[in-house]
């Protein structure tokens, strides 16, 4: 494994990521770098090379609940960055540039009935906002956390989730920026013994959005599920790049992301999904599967789907991956039209059904209904 103070890209494996809170420890990304080759660096507004507009703190508001504490702390607070240190230059830039961060703690054995809502509001033009959020759920506690990103601006952050033994955490990352926003987020989850993580991501807004979740297991019995939906229009680029690192025995992970794209000109609407799953040699009994499905609705759209599965032991329960990029199923369309449903409405029904598998698993009913409404709004843009 590469030590934290020894940066050598040639020796880094998927699981042995170099991490640092110092931006100068990372080289400036270039378009040929593997982890940056899909995104347009010139559209990142200087987040990758230090040429961004003046730095300010993120604007964040946390709802209050019994058994939950929320604090604004200095960048050097020891509770920040315990498991989620930056693994790329933009994440390190966010850490180096942020004046403060947030620490949210759910007390052990507490069951929080209502969702904990953390709302990040863009700071608008002329500045760049940076921040970090640490969310810890004590042993045998249960909570749902909704991270909402709204407004306009340029934003980069680090978010970490720490699950104690037997804890159950549902996370919903709701990215609903205005369409002129740029947002890059580094997210890391540490899952304890017999703990359960349900990480849900929904990306509908923003010009450039890049979410990088990583999951690490610390003891047997951990269970992680990563679900995601995204819908990209003309001028939008969404990237989901994840890593699930199975480093201990008898843990489970399941990944399912679904996206749709529509754009008028070639490559005008783009998405990228990269799913890395690593099963280390001592992770016997692992059970994992990852899937990414994409619907291309117009000629001016492009989706890249790259599943990667690295297995170092054969003593596992199961492992697999699948990815698809394609257009409508003509048979489904023909079937609906043969029942008297107009073609435009038939297409809308197919798309809604395509997303429902993920959306209906979001436990917050008001949010799942809101996502269905957003999909309906997107479908109205598709010409009959």
Task: Give the mean pLDDT of 295-311.
Answer: 92
Q: 């020894």: which residue's tokens?
A: 6
Is the dihedral angle over the CA atoms 360, 362, 368, 374 positive or is it negative? negative
List C-alpha distances in Å: 86 to 20, 91, 200, 310. 6, 5, 21, 23
Tokens, residue 135: 């969310």
Task: Tell me what pLDDT residue 209 has.
Answer: 98
The answer to whether 129 and 46 are in contact (CB under 8 A) is no
Q: How far apart are CA 276 and CA 255, in angstroms?
A: 10
The answer to whether 277 and 313 are in contact (CB under 8 A) is no
Task: Identify the band that residue 9 occupies on the pLDDT scale cut at 50, 70 and 90.
Answer: very low
Task: Tell me what pLDDT residue 352 has.
Answer: 85
pLDDT digits (tens, 9 = 90+) for 126-147: 999 999 999 999 999 999 999 9
Q: What secondary structure, in 3-state letters, does 47-65 show?
A: CCCCCCCCEEECEEEECCC
For residue 280, give the nearest of 306, 258, 309, 301 by alpha carbon: 309
Q: How far apart are CA 291 and CA 180, in angstroms?
A: 30
For residue 258, give the nearest of 289, 232, 223 by alpha carbon: 232
The answer to whether 282 and 315 are in contact (CB under 8 A) is no
pLDDT digits (tens, 9 = 90+) for 157-192: 999 999 999 999 999 999 999 999 999 999 999 999
Residue 322 has pLDDT above 90, yes or no: yes
Q: Rounded to 5 degrees, what angle do the CA atoms 213, 215, 220 make?
A: 170
Question: CB neighbours (10 Å) of residue 4?
Answer: 12
Task: Tell me what pLDDT residue 95 has.
Answer: 97
The answer to whether 253 and 278 are in contact (CB under 8 A) is no
Report domain extents, the chain.
Answer: 23-327, 329-383
Count how many Cα atoms sit within 13 Å of the Cα of residue 265 in the half-sphere of its side chain.
Answer: 4
Task: Tell me what pLDDT residue 339 has.
Answer: 79
CB-count exposure of residue 342 (10 Å: 0-12, 13-18, 19+): exposed
Task: Tell me what pLDDT residue 13 has.
Answer: 59
Q: State whether residue 84 is helix, strand or coil.
A: coil
Q: How far apart are CA 187 and CA 181, in angstroms?
A: 19
Task: Tell me what pLDDT residue 1 has.
Answer: 32
Task: Give the mean pLDDT of 233-243.
Answer: 96
pLDDT digits (tens, 9 = 90+) for 74-104: 999 999 999 978 999 999 999 999 999 999 9
The answer to whether 111 and 97 are in contact (CB under 8 A) is no
Phi, psi of 313, deg, nearest 5: -145, 145
Task: Identify the band that residue 300 occupies on the pLDDT scale cut at 50, 70 and 90.
Answer: confident
Task: Identify the band that residue 346 occupies on the pLDDT scale cut at 50, 70 and 90.
Answer: confident
The answer to whether 284 and 249 are in contact (CB under 8 A) is yes
For residue 118, give the nearest of 146, 143, 154, 137 by alpha carbon: 146
Residue 328 has pLDDT above 80, yes or no: no
Count how many Cα atoms sit within 13 Å of the Cα of residue 263 in the half-sphere of its side chain.
Answer: 20
Task: Tell me what pLDDT residue 3 has.
Answer: 34
Task: Tell me what pLDDT residue 335 has.
Answer: 66
- Give percent above pLDDT 90 in the chain: 79
Residue 10 has pLDDT above 50, yes or no: no
Is the dihedral angle over the CA atoms 52, 154, 28, 100 positive or is it negative? positive
Task: Tell me what pLDDT residue 348 has.
Answer: 80
Task: Tell me what pLDDT residue 382 has.
Answer: 64
DSSP state of 111: B
Task: Identify the band that residue 14 occupies on the pLDDT scale cut at 50, 70 and 90.
Answer: confident
Task: Tell me what pLDDT residue 332 has.
Answer: 72
Residue 46 has pLDDT above 50, yes or no: yes
Task: Tell me what pLDDT residue 6 has.
Answer: 41
Q: How far apart are CA 305 and CA 316, in angstroms?
A: 25
| Average pLDDT of the chain to the nearest whole number | 92
Task: Give the mean pLDDT of 186-200.
Answer: 98
Residue 373 has pLDDT above 80, yes or no: yes
User: Which pTM value belongs to this model?
Assistant: 0.93
């Amino acid at each position: 494994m590469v030590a934290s103070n020894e940066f050598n890209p040639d020796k880094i494996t998927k699981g042995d990521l170099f991490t640092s809170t110092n931006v100068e420890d990372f080289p400036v990304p270039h378009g040929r770098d593997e982890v940056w080759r899909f995104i347009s660096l010139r559209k990142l507004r200087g987040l990758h090379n230090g040429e961004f507009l003046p730095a300010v703190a993120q604007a964040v508001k946390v709802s209050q609940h019994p058994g939950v504490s929320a604090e604004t702390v200095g960048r050097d607070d020891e509770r920040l960055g315990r498991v989620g240190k930056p693994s790329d230059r933009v994440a390190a830039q966010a850490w180096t540039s942020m004046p403060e961060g947030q620490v949210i703690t759910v007390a052990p054995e507490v069951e929080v009935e209502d969702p904990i809502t953390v709302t990040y509001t863009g700071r608008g033009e002329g500045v760049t906002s940076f921040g970090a959020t640490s969310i810890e759920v004590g042993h045998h506690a249960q909570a749902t956390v909704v991270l909402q990103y709204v407004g306009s601006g340029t934003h980069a952050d680090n978010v970490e989730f720490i699950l104690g033994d037997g804890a159950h955490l549902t996370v919903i990352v709701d990215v609903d920026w205005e369409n002129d926003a740029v947002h890059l987020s580094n997210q890391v989850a540490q899952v304890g013994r017999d703990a359960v993580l349900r990480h849900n991501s929904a990306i509908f807004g923003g010009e450039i959005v890049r979410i990088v979740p990583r999951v690490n297991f610390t003891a047997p019995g951990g269970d992680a599920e990563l679900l995601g939906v995204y819908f990209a229009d003309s001028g939008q680029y969404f990237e989901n790049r994840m890593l699930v690192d199975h480093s201990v025995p008898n843990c489970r992970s399941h990944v399912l992301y679904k996206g749709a794209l529509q754009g008028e000109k070639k490559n005008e609407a783009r998405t990228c999904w990269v799913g890395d799953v690593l099963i280390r040699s001592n992770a016997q009994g692992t059970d994992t599967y990852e899937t990414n499905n994409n619907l291309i609705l117009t000629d001016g759209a492009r989706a890249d789907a790259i599943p990667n599965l690295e297995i170092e032991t054969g003593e596992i329960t199961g492992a697999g991956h699948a990815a698809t990029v394609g257009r409508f199923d003509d048979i489904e369309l023909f079937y609906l039209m043969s029942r008297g449903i107009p073609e435009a409405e038939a297409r809308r029904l197919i798309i809604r059904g395509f997303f429902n598998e993920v959306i209906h698993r979001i436990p917050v009913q008001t949010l799942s209904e809101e996502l269905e409404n957003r999909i309906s709004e997107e479908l109205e843009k598709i010409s009959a």
